[in-house]
Amino acid sequence: MEVTARAPGKIILAGEHAVVHGCTAVASSIDLYTSVSLRLRPEDEDTIKLQLNDIGLDFSWAIGRIKEVLSRLGSPFSSTPTSCSPEIVKSLAALVDEQSFPESKIGLASGVYAFLWLYTSILGFKPATVVVSSELPVGAGLGSSAAYCVALSAALLALSDSAKLDVSQKGWFTFKSEAELVNKWAFEGEKIIHGRPSGVDNSVSTFGNVIKFKSGVMTRIDSNMPLRMLITNTKVGRDTKALVANVSARKSRHPDAMCSVLNAIEAISAEWSTIIQSHAVDDLCLSANEEKLGELMEMNQGLLFSIGVSHASIETILRTTMKYKLASKLTGAGGGGCVLTLLPTHVSGAVIDKLVEELESFGFQCFMAGIGGKGVQISFDHSS
């Protein structure tokens, strides 16, 4: 039996940075996915294999070796999501180091630790081959690590005793009651990769659609508006912690002005939520709503610029999309990362092609994405 799980990436539509200061952020799934295929092997094969297709890394561990390293700390196998202790992370690191991890890709090692923890916790020591492929760029603020943890958790749970799934179902289907369990396990994987994640990325990837997030409380909202975005990756890496710290420092230097800026961002997030939940009765109404969202994006970007989180590469994208009368804003931490451009329904394919060509001439990478689609899905392959 082989199972494939796919989980979507995410974007922040409004409220990034302000969310750190108690305001609302609005995040959405995008229809770009990370897929994890899991095939259990005969018991006598005695290895767990991991193939990371997009980054060209393959790993293979003898099950006896994994047992030897982890059994000193007690069996990780657990039917309820549990956190990985620092001692176990050290043991997992030893298992990964034995595989001669390439120095240039060492930043991805924590993703392999998360794999070993989730695998042994959910499936124990069954031999298998796991193949990961993704449409999401790594480290660009599109939730690639969360999509990886969610898809991995879903695939593992699908073949475990924890989930009671109808394996005879054809095509892609979503989890029902098991989605919360997938989300909790994925959050444990995210903790291994990021230390102290907010939980927003894995929640959006698990449940899909749109989530409002404020002061640690998440509210799922249903978008009734089909939206398309052009996502442009500047390919400029950024230091999220430093960007967040700089905003806090600016707030302490200019408390009154910054309070006004954050209140304005809060109002933008609230309006986003209202508009995307409304039902457009006709094309004219849909066009008016798209225009309002475009204006909100422009205002939000201006406010993000004012708190110091834009970047020369972001401004280049903004200038380019402005020539086509399209609204854009950075998404996530800023300082590089990705920019969203709203593609209203009336914009022709020829115009989009021309814009993409111009953006790619600067060395940027462009993706088209639908907003607010389904969360994690699974599919069983009955031919194997």
pLDDT tens digits along 107-118: 788 999 999 999
Cβ proximity of 42 and 121 under 8 Å: no
pTM recorded for the entire structure: 0.92
Domain count of the fold of the chain: 1
The overall longest dimension of the chain from CA atoms, in Å, is 68
pLDDT of residue 107: 77
**Displacement of CA 174 from its chain's centroid (Å):** 18
Residue ranges of the chain with pLDDT lower than 70? 72-77, 384
Helix (H) or strand (E) run with residue 193 in it: helix 179-194
pLDDT of residue 319: 98
* Tokens encoding 199: 């939980």
pLDDT of residue 76: 63
| Residue span of the structural domain in which 112 resides | 1-384
> What CATH number is attached to the domain comprising 175?
3.30.230.10
Which residue type does 355 have? L
Q: What is the pLDDT of residues 299-316, one digit of tens each?
A: 999 999 999 999 999 999
CA-to-CA separations, 112 to 10, 41, 207, 307, 309, in angstroms, rounded? 21, 20, 24, 36, 31
Q: Which residues of 156-172 are buried (b: 16+ CB within 10 A; e: fewer)?
A: bbbbbebbebeeeeeee
**Displacement of CA 108 from its chain's centroid (Å):** 15
Residues paired with 366 in a beta bridge: 232
pLDDT of residue 384: 55
CA–CA distance, 64 with 74 (Å, rounded to integer) = 15
Question: Residue 222 phi/psi, 5° resolution?
Answer: -95, 120
Catalytic pick among 44, 201, 222, 282 = 201
State the SS3 of 122-148. HHCCCCEEEEEEECCCCCCCCCHHHHH
Active site residue 46: no
* Tokens encoding 224: 């009734």
Q: What is the pLDDT of residues 313-353, one digit of tens each?
A: 999 999 999 999 999 999 999 999 999 999 999 999 999 99
CA–CA distance, 27 with 24 (Å, rounded to integer) = 10
pLDDT of residue 167: 76
What is the rounded radius of gyration, in angstroms, for the C-alpha atoms of the chain?
22
Cβ proximity of 210 and 198 under 8 Å: no
